[in-house]
Structure 1
Amino acid sequence: MELDELGVVEQPVVNTSIIHEAIDYSAFSLLQLASMAEAEITGQSILQFQDSMRLQLIIVKSQVRNKTEQNLDKLQTLLNSVYHDQGFKGDWKAFFKVKNALVSKVLSRRKGVPISLGILLIEMLKETGFSAFGICFPSGFIVKVELENGTVYIDPFNGDIVDIQQLELKVRGQLGNHARLTPEMLQADSTETIIKRYVSVLKAAYIQAENIELALLCSDILLRLDPEDAFEVRDRGFLFQQLDCFQLACNDFTYFIEQCPEDPIVNLLKRQIKQMNDEHNAQTIH
């Protein structure tokens, strides 16, 4: 079944809510969870994706089959196979498009954004014996690999191994010239944190594509994972507002105001609530 440009199947299938607050993250790989989230949002077949990924893993494993040590030589061979021979790369020209975020589309197109490319790369690394982890780095997703003789960091957007100095420059470029790289920034993030980041990227892509309904599905997943996330409740309120679900939007804005009364956006939300209530009252009168 093919996805259209916005990542929607032509004949959507009904998926149960398989991503939820009580999910056992240890029971699934990062890629499995990402594909489960995608399946729930778009109707993409998980089995079809798994078949495609299985073929990809056969290719990668064949390239490193004679290398038994988890060292830099084996890692570079794998990266050359993925990024040079097979042509995986970041897509600068359409960076914020849905097709660059959905892992199934990234696998088939071999183009994407750092987090989706990174999730795929981590799966390939782990399946070939490496200890690989994801980092939600300030400038974009980074892959951390523990080798026999030390730790290396990979930019999944281009497959380059980056050193500490390059990571420092990325931090300063994102957070300002006075920002500095800290040890905490290089700590591997949990599977839960990465999946939340992945779904958030999907949500942002759908918002840019003006597909508010699918953005709302992303928000629903995020709130299932963390029901008390006031900022996500606020964001869902904006989505409800765009869908003219004014009462639901007011409820979400009110919750955020109660939870974060000192936030700078509170006054704006209060005006939004008043405006939506006024419009609702005017419609009721007429």
Structure 2
Amino acid sequence: MKIDLLKQSLYLEMESFYLITTEDDGEDLRTIRSLMGGLVRKARKVIPADDDVRVKIHKLLQLMYGDWGFECDPQHYFQTENLYLSYVLRSHRGMPVSLGCILLYLADKLALPLYPVMFPTQLILRADVDNEVAFIDPWDGKYLNQQDLQKLYEGTFGFGATMSQEDLAVAKPHELRERFAQLAKSCLIREEHNDAALKYIESRLLNYKYEDYPYKAFEPYERRDRGLVLAQMGAYHAAVEDLQYFVEKCPDDPTAFMLMAQLPEIKKELHNDLLH
């Protein structure tokens, strides 16, 4: 696995998300790249190349969360705008995945050993220096010790739940892309940005046509999400097809049981539409 690909994969996915889901024909892309380049140049001026690696990482975090004032806004945490780099770079507000994306991009350009970790609660970063590992929360740029990580883990899975080494391992590029996609779809669907959600899902479904695509097994979930969007849009016939496909392919999934209960109501809406 190429390290530069790993560090840039989240940034590239966020660029792709912007291009697919907006209608400005990529007009903001030049601005995004200009702002990112500006951050790289500022960081290089402040962080000497011959500094100790640990010192350079500390200075980068101080720049990002101190001097530049990037932060997560808990009041608007799951808003879709936090997934658009143009907004995050202008407002200096985002969520862990978007701020982590910027940190990883800068780490790549500065040759710093920062890597993404697909922790169950959110994206976190790890610094690997001289056979020692430190974990960083992109929410605020602070270091996380084992007790902090355990507390976050138990907050999701319950008291006494135990982390595994896999929970703290360096993520693979396609894992990052899939995790971002799930979050992005959730935000779009919840805010009823149906046209954008539909375009994003259908662009991803194209990938599953290739037999060697690593996450081909997730095709039913994309079909499920498309079905939910189509139902919100009133396209009940197509929605029923997608949702039934998911239930048949993933009958033991918890959401399949909920959909089984909802499908009769959706079919009723379809029937009413046909009558009118």
TM over 0.5: yes
1:29 and 2:8 are equivalent in the alignment? yes
1:38 to 18, 42, 59: 18
Match of 1:239 in 2: 229
Aligned to 1:127: 109
Larger helix proportion, structure 1 or 2?
2
Structure 2: runs of 5 or more not aligned: 209-215
Q: Which of 239, 242, 247 is the equivalent residue of 1:257?
A: 247
1:151-171 per-position Cα deviation (integer Å, ceiling 9, x unaligned): 211100100011222111111
Rounded to whole Å, the distance in 2 between the matches of 1:285 and 1:33 is 43
TM-score (norm 2): 0.86
Matches within 5 A, 1:152-191: 152-191=134-173
Q: Would you say how many aligned residue pairs link Structure 1 and Structure 2?
A: 261
Are 2:197 and 1:215 equivalent residues in the alignment?
A: yes
Offset at residue 199 of structure 1 (A): 2.4
The one-letter code of the counterpart of 2:29 is I
The 1:225–1:180 alpha-carbon spacing in structure 2 relative to 1, beyond 3 Å, is: farther
Long gaps (5+) in structure 1 = 1-24
* 1:279 and 2:258 aligned: no
Partner deviation per Cα, 1:73-96 (whole Å, 9 max, x = no partner): 221111111111110111112111
SS class of match (2:75):
coil
Inter-CA distance 283–212: structure 2 relative to 1 (3 Å threshold): closer
User: What letter corresponds to residue 29 of structure 1 in structure 2?
Assistant: Q
Equivalence for 2:96: 114
Query: What residue is the counterpart of 1:22 in the other structure?
Result: none
Aligned pair in 2 of structure 1 residues 257, 33: CA closer, same or farther (>3 Å)? closer
State the percentage of identical aligned residues. 24
State how far apart, in whole Å, the 2-side matches of 1:171 and 1:27 are.
24
- Residue 12 (structure 1) aligns with: none
8 A Cα contact 1:102 1:202, kept in partner:
no
Q: Match of 2:212?
A: none
**Is the 1:35–1:104 Cα contact (8 Å) retained in structure 2?**
no
C-alpha contact (below 8 Å) 2:65/2:141 kept by paired residues: yes
Quote how far apart the aligned CAs of 1:27 are. 9.7
Does the CA contact (< 8 Å) of 1:202 and 1:218 recur in 2? no
Most deviating of 135-144 and 226-235? 226-235
